[in-house]
Each structure stands twice: as C-alpha cells, then as structure tokens.
C-alpha cells in the first residue's frame, strides 16, 4: 500500500473513506476542523452524536454517506473512548479497525484525519506512527498459498494521513515513515511464522536474511554447517543431528552512521523452523503450530530490517541459529552428553528442550562482538503460556535491561514481565554426570530455560532472555493482528533501540 501525508481542510479532501476519530467526552461538542467539516455536512455528525446513535466507545464505527455535500465518498466515524484512557495503543487499534472497515466497504483508499486523534498529550509524530502502524498491520493477511479468492475484498491502495495544519507536516512525515517501516518489518516476521515448515526451511530463513541485507545495506554473513563444526558449536549441531537440512547461523550487522564508539547490542533469535520434539517426541495434537518455533529469529530479522531503514545510531548485531528439530537414527538421544562452544558439557535430558541448546552456543558466540548488551528472544517454554497467558512475554536477567524492555513494551503494547533467576534455580540445572542438564523441574519451567541460558552468557555482559512461547501467533484475531502470526518482538526491539540513549 502507498502511504502519504497531505495538508488541507477535511471538507475539500478527496477520498473514498475519510476516517474521523470521535472522543467519548460527554458533551458531544465538535471543535476545530471537525466542526468545520460538520458545517459542510449540514450538521449531520452533531445530530448523530446528540441523538446518541454513535456513542464513541473505543473501536465503535459508523459509516456516513455525504451524497456529494463534500468530495469524500464516505465518512467513517470511529470511537476513541474516554480521553483519560487514550494512548498510542488506542490509536493503533482504531486505525486498524477503520482500515478493516474501509476494506470491507470496498474503499480503494483511506484517509485518516490526524487532528481528530489528538488529545493534546501525545505528539503528532507518535499519533502518526501509531495510526500508520495500526492501519497497515490491521490490513495484514497471509494468503500467498491461496489460489482461490471467492468473496475477497481487495486492500485499499493508499493510506493518507491528513491534517489542516501545515506546521504539523514534518512530524506527520516522520511518524508515517517510522510507522510504515515498523509495520512492514513486523509483517515480514509474520510471514515467516505463518509460512509452513516445508517452505520456511533453514535455507529459506538464510535467503530471507540475505534479501533483507541487500535491500537495506546491512552486512550479512552466514555460518554454514562446516563453519559451525569448525567453531565447535556442539549444542547447535546436536539439535541439527536428526535433520536432513544443515544447521546455519545468520549474522546481520548494522553499523550506525556515527563512526566511533557506538553501543553494541546483540539480538539473538531462536530459529527452529519446525519442532517435533526429537526423540522426546511431542504429541500430535496441535503440532502444526511448531512451524512458528522460529518466531524469535523472525523477530530479530524484522527488527534488523527496521534498525537499518531507520538508520539508528547504534551498532546492532542480529544472530539467528537456524535448524529443524527432527528425529532420525542419527539424532540426539536423551542422556547424551554434548560439549558446548563454551566448553561446558551438557546432558540432554529432553530433546524437546532444544531451543536453549541452540541459543546457548549463540550466546557464547555473541561474545565475539564485545557487546554492551545481549538480548535473546525465543519461543522457549509451554510454561510461559501457563504463567502469563496472552498479554506479556516473560523476561529474565539484567534489571536495567529489563527496565528498557518494560518501557518499550508499555509503549508498543508488546509487554514483558520479569521472573527471578535466583542462584537456587541455576543449581537445579546442574547435572550429576555433566556440567549442566537441559531441564530443571516441571514447576517453574520458564525459569529453568533462563537459568540454563545464563550459564552460557559471556562474563560481565548485561543480558536478558525473552520467552515469547505462544505469543508468536494467536488463534484469536486482535485489533491489529488477524488470526495467526503476530510478529511479536519486532516493535518491542525497535522501540527499545530507538530509545537507547534516553
Ligand atoms: N518450542 C517449544 C515451546 C513452545 C510451546 C513454543 C508452545 C510455542 C508454543 C519448546 O522447544 C519446548 O518444546 N519446550 C518444552 C521444554 C521442556 C521439555 C523442558 C516445553 O515447554 O514443554
Ligand atoms: Mn521443543
Ligand atoms: Zn522449540
């Protein structure tokens, strides 16, 4: 979809769907540009509000047909709810709702009147970002494998952010740029998670990383299986042992524009393109969902794309170890003891606890970049779903780094919540026959993932582990994420990195 900003009055604007936000502020008064528009409409909006036909509850919509009184073919009123509860999350949600409604109605373009979304507290830039993010993400669909499109409505071709205030133009342009980059990068991550494992293979993830690099100017290096063997990443190789597709490691690197001494942040994403569980086989019901077990890698790829396009003044490295977790005569068996890149030996109690194995070697490898911070993101444990449900990822590790993620999470709606990593938890992953084992007890399972990983983090580097299991996709549609992949992590990372120097 094309995106643009425009300066001009609402009542002369040409569009097939003019989106107007209306606050539920009790007095039904209209002011400024909306009052001017309403005058051109002979007071229709005011009449609808005073009659109580539209209550402006959050996400409530109503279509009006101006019959030539103004050039806009339709007006979509969309409720903003109470001003006290209004945030950028509201803007994303209502923009998505309006864009979906415009599509259902067959509108070929839509224009959002940004001045109608201002409450005097949010900056015009952040409103513009949220509106474009919400509209673009709300229209996302995964349909590359469909050959039949009965009854399908085409997407609107153009999104315009409209303001009557010329002074606001620069802020709208910037917000729209950031919002579009972030939404497209999130959509890329969604595609990778939605795409099935016969298509989204390790080689496909590598190819996608190469394409991202060549279209954005990121550096891209790939460690192939022989490189991984030569380095001694025994844990990654042990997970790969049962697969017909060789393990690979994606390395994307963004060198910020200011030459000297930028902070170095390494992002590491779990890239299991399909998780059968290995010899510790998963049960059949719902196993197709394990095509999304590369949701962490997808988030890192998407975030790296955005970091490059937004030219952030940071040195950011994205690592993604990629392999399937299959089962085969050559596969790893429960009880096998494997030597890690770090040198620690690992007793593999359960081959289904594979994510922490491939991440452990990757965290050690991250030390090569002398990082100021390392953050890994992974669909690691079913227990994450039990502990926190649908509305927060689990985080463990460095307090200051967790605080950065909490701030970014509150702004983006991709929220995180901390779990402890007390020494006692770390002791539970010590093995009788090797240095460590890859599982702890059943209770507190998410923490044992973090406790295991902590053993492989380079000394004195602040690190956080983000467990997003279950959040990579959803069976329920959300306002700006239809059923299926969410792209969780892209917006969280980009927001955290944009605020890094705060
Ligand atoms: N990929 C799974 C975790 C997962 C579960 C992701 C549900 C998305 C939705 C992970 O590799 C796994 O199998 N974890 C095991 C760990 C256990 C064996 C210690 C789990 O959670 O059961
Ligand atoms: Mn598993
Ligand atoms: Zn897994």
- 277-331: pLDDT as tens digits: 999 999 999 999 999 999 999 999 999 999 999 999 999 999 999 999 999 999 9
| Long-range residue pairs from 185-188, CB within 8 A, at least 24 positions apart, any chain | 185/302, 185/303, 185/305, 185/306, 185/309, 185/487, 185/490, 185/494, 186/137, 186/302, 186/487, 186/490, 186/491, 187/136, 187/137, 187/140, 187/487, 188/212, 188/298, 188/301, 188/302, 188/305, 188/487
Q: Is the dihedral of CA 340, 342, 347, 350 positive or negative?
A: negative
Residue indicated by tokens 């959040």: 471
Q: Is the pLDDT of residue 27 over 90?
A: no
Q: What share of the chain is helix, strand, coil (3-state, %, to 5)?
A: 40, 20, 40
130-183 residue pLDDT tens = 999 999 999 999 999 999 999 899 999 999 999 999 999 999 999 999 999 999
CA of 493 to the centre of ligand 1 (A): 23
Q: Which atom of ligand 1 is nearest to the CA of 282?
A: 13
245-254 residue pLDDT tens = 999 999 999 9
Q: Is the pTM of the predicted complex or chain greater than 0.95?
A: yes
Q: Which ligand is nearest to the CA of 380?
A: 1
322-354 residue pLDDT tens = 999 999 999 999 999 999 999 999 999 999 999
pLDDT confidence tier of residue 78, bands split at 50, 70 and 90: very high
Using a 10 angstrom Cβ sphere, with 0-12 exposed, 13-18 middle and 19 or more buried, the burial of residue 337 is: middle
Counting ligand 1 atoms within 8 A of each CB, the residue from 238, 270, 380 with the most, and so the one to mutate, is 380
Q: 407-444 burial by CB neighbour count: b if 16+ within 10 A, else e?
A: ebbebbbbbbebbebeeebbebbebeebbbbbbbeeeb
Instruction: Determine how β-strand 75-81 pairs with β-strand 61-64.
Output: antiparallel
pLDDT greater at residue 46 or residue 29: 46
Residue 61 CA to residue 54 CA, distance in Å, equals 8
Residue indicated by tokens 């539920």: 24
Q: How many CB atoms lie within 10 A of CB 213?
A: 23
CB 358 within 8 A of CB 325: no
Residue indicated by tokens 């701030």: 407
Residue indicated by tokens 């609107």: 156
Annotate 190-219 with DSSP letters as a single string. HHHHHS-TTTS-HHHHHHHHHHHHHHHT-E
Q: Which atom of ligand 1 is nearest to the CA of 355?
A: 11
As a CATH number, domain 182-498 is 3.40.630.10
CB-ligand 1 contact for 350 (6 Å cutoff) = yes
350 Cβ contact list (under 8 Å, min separation 6): 280, 334, 438, 439
Which secondary-structure segment (H or E) carries 82? none
Q: Is the pLDDT of residue 502 over 60?
A: no
- Give me the torsion for CA of 183, 185, 186, 191, rounded to 10°: 120
Helix (H, G, I), strand (E, B) or coil at 132: helix
CB-ligand 1 contact for 295 (6 Å cutoff) = no
pLDDT at 259: 63
Q: Is the pLDDT of residue 211 over 80?
A: yes
What's the mean per-residue pLDDT of the chain?
A: 97
Residue 6 CA to residue 227 CA, distance in Å, equals 52
The reply to whether 182-498 shares the fold of 2-163 is no
Q: How many CB atoms lie within 10 A of CB 221?
A: 12
Q: Which atom of ligand 1 is nearest to the CA of 381?
A: 21
Q: Annotated catalytic residue: which of 46, 282, 406, 478?
A: 282
Residue 113 CA to residue 9 CA, distance in Å, equals 10
> Comparing C-alpha atoms, which of 154, 153, 156, 173 is closest to residue 6?
173
CB-ligand 1 contact for 467 (6 Å cutoff) = no
Average pLDDT over residues 86-111: 98
CB 186 within 8 A of CB 295: no
CATH classification for the domain delimited by 2-163, as one of 2.40.50.100, 3.40.220.10, 3.90.105.10, 3.30.43.10: 3.40.220.10
pLDDT confidence tier of residue 396, bands split at 50, 70 and 90: very high
412-466 residue pLDDT tens = 999 999 999 999 999 999 999 999 999 998 899 999 999 999 999 999 999 999 9
106: left (phi over 0), alpha (psi -120 to 50) or beta: left
Annotate 2-32 with DSSP letters as a single string. EEEEEES-GGG---S-EEEEEE--SS----H
Residue 352 CA to residue 360 CA, distance in Å, equals 15
pLDDT at 343: 98
If you ran DSSP here, which 8-state letter would residue 122 be given? S
| Long-range residue pairs from 81-85, CB within 8 A, at least 24 positions apart, any chain | 81/23, 81/24, 81/56, 81/57, 82/23, 82/24, 82/25, 83/23, 83/24, 83/25, 83/119, 85/58
CB-ligand 1 contact for 474 (6 Å cutoff) = no
Instruction: Determine how β-strand 18-23 pairs with β-strand 109-113.
Output: parallel
The full length of the chain comes to: 502
> Comparing C-alpha atoms, which of 149, 158, 215, 181 is closest to residue 19?
158
CB-ligand 1 contact for 379 (6 Å cutoff) = yes
All structural domains of the chain with their residue ranges: 2-163, 182-498
């Amino acid at each position: 979809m094309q995106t643009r900003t425009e300066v001009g009055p609402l009542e002369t604007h040409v569009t097939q769907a003019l989106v107007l936000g209306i606050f539920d502020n009790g007095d039904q008064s209209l002011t400024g540009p909306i009052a001017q528009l309403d005058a051109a409409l002979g007071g229709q909006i005011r009449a609808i509000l005073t009659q109580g036909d539209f209550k402006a509850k959050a996400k409530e919509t109503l279509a009006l047909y101006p019959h030539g009184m103004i050039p806009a073919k339709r007006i979509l009123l969309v409720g903003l709810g109470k001003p006290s509860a209004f945030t950028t999350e509201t803007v994303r949600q209502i923009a998505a709702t309006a864009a979906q409604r415009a599509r259902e109605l067959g509108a070929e373009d839509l224009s959002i009147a940004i001045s109608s979304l201002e409450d005097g507290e949010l900056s015009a830039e952040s409103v513009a970002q949220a509106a474009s993010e919400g509209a673009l993400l709300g229209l996302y669909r995964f349909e590359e494998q469909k050959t039949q499109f009965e009854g399908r409505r085409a997407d609107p071709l153009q999104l315009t952010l409209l303001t009557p205030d010329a002074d606001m133009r620069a802020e709208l342009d910037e917000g729209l740029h950031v919002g579009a980059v972030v939404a497209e990068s999130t959509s890329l991550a969604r595609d990778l998670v939605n795409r099935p494992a016969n298509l989204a293979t390790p080689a496909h993830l590598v190819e996608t990383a190469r394409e991202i690099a060549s279209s954005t100017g990121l550096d891209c290096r790939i460690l192939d299986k022989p490189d991984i063997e030569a380095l001694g990443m025994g844990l990654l190789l042990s997970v790969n042992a049962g697969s017909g597709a060789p393990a690979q490691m994606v390395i994307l690197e963004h060198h910020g524009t200011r030459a000297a001494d930028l902070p170095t942040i390494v992002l590491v994403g779990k890239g299991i393109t399909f998780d059968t569980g290995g010899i510790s086989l998963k049960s059949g019901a719902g196993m197709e969902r394990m095509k999304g077990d590369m949701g962490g890698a997808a988030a890192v790829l998407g975030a790296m794309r955005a970091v490059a396009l937004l030219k952030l003044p940071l040195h950011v490295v994205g690592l993604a170890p990629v392999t399937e977790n299959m089962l085969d005569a050559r596969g790893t068996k429960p009880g096998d003891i494997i030597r890690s890149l770090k040198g620690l030996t690992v007793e593999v109690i359960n081959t289904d606890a594979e994510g922490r194995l491939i991440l452990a070697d990757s965290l050690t490898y991250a030390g090569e970049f002398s990082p100021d911070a390392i953050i890994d993101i992974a669909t690691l444990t079913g227990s994450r779903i039990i502990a926190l449900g649908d509305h927060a990822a689990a985080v463990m590790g460095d307090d200051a780094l967790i605080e950065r993620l909490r701030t970014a999470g509150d702004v983006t709606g991709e929220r995180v919540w901390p779990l402890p990593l007390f020494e006692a938890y770390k002791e539970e992953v010590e093995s009788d026959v090797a240095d460590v084992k890859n599982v702890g007890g059943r209770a507190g399972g998410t923490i044992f993932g973090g406790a295991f990983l902590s053993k492989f983090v380079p000394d004195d580097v602040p690190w956080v582990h983000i467990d997003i299991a279950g959040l990579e996709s959803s069976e329920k549609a959300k306002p700006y994420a239809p059923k299926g992949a969410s792209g969780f992590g892209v917006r969280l990372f980009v927001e955290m990195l944009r605020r890094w120097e705060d």
